[in-house]
């Protein structure tokens, strides 16, 4: 929850985000650091932008491989957006082909552990602000 203080600024209960409320042309605007905006936008995602999770069968069981691919894809997409990277930029930093990352993010393929490790290192580097 975000609560305003006496100066019109707001801080998230955890104290991690600062927001300034401005009024321009009769409209109220929330101003925040770009890093916080990108983190919130990544958490929210865009509707229909995630790979669909498979439906359970008649007995309530989920197809394990498809579920794992979609779940991994969602985690990578979320982390990539939080880092403010495009697919092409993450692929470049990870040393993999953009087409490979695209197929992983669509849940079409299961990456091997070496590819997952490359993506993870690239995301950690990007989130740390290093090049």
Q: Dump pLDDT digits (tens) for 89-104.
A: 999 999 999 999 999 9
Is pLDDT above 90 for 113? yes
Domain 42-127, what fold? 434 Repressor (Amino-terminal Domain) (1.10.260)
The mean of the pLDDT values for the chain is 84
Point out the least confidently predicted range of 6-10, 22-26, 81-85, 88-92. 6-10
Is pLDDT above 50 for 71? yes
Is 110 within 8 Å of 68 (Cβ atoms)? yes
Per-residue buried b or exposed e for 6-20, using 16+ beta carbons within 10 Å of the residue's own CB? eeeebeeeeeebebe
Please state the domain extents for the chain: 2-32, 42-127
Is pLDDT above 50 for 3? no
Give the model's pLDDT for residue 120: 97
């Amino acid at each position: 929850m975000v609560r305003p203080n006496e100066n019109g600024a707001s801080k998230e209960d955890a104290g991690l985000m600062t927001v300034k409320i401005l009024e321009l042309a009769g409209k109220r605007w929330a101003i925040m650091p770009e890093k916080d905006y990108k983190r919130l936008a990544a958490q929210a995602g865009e509707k229909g932008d995630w790979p669909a999770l498979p439906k359970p069968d008649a007995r309530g069981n989920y197809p394990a491989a498809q579920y794992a691919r979609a779940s991994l894809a969602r985690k990578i997409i979320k982390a990539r957006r939080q880092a403010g990277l495009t697919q092409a930029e993450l692929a470049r930093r990870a040393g993999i082909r953009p087409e490979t990352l695209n197929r992983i993010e669509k849940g079409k393929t299961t990456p091997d552990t070496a590819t997952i490790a490359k993506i993870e290192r690239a995301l950690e580097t990007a989130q740390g602000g290093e090049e």
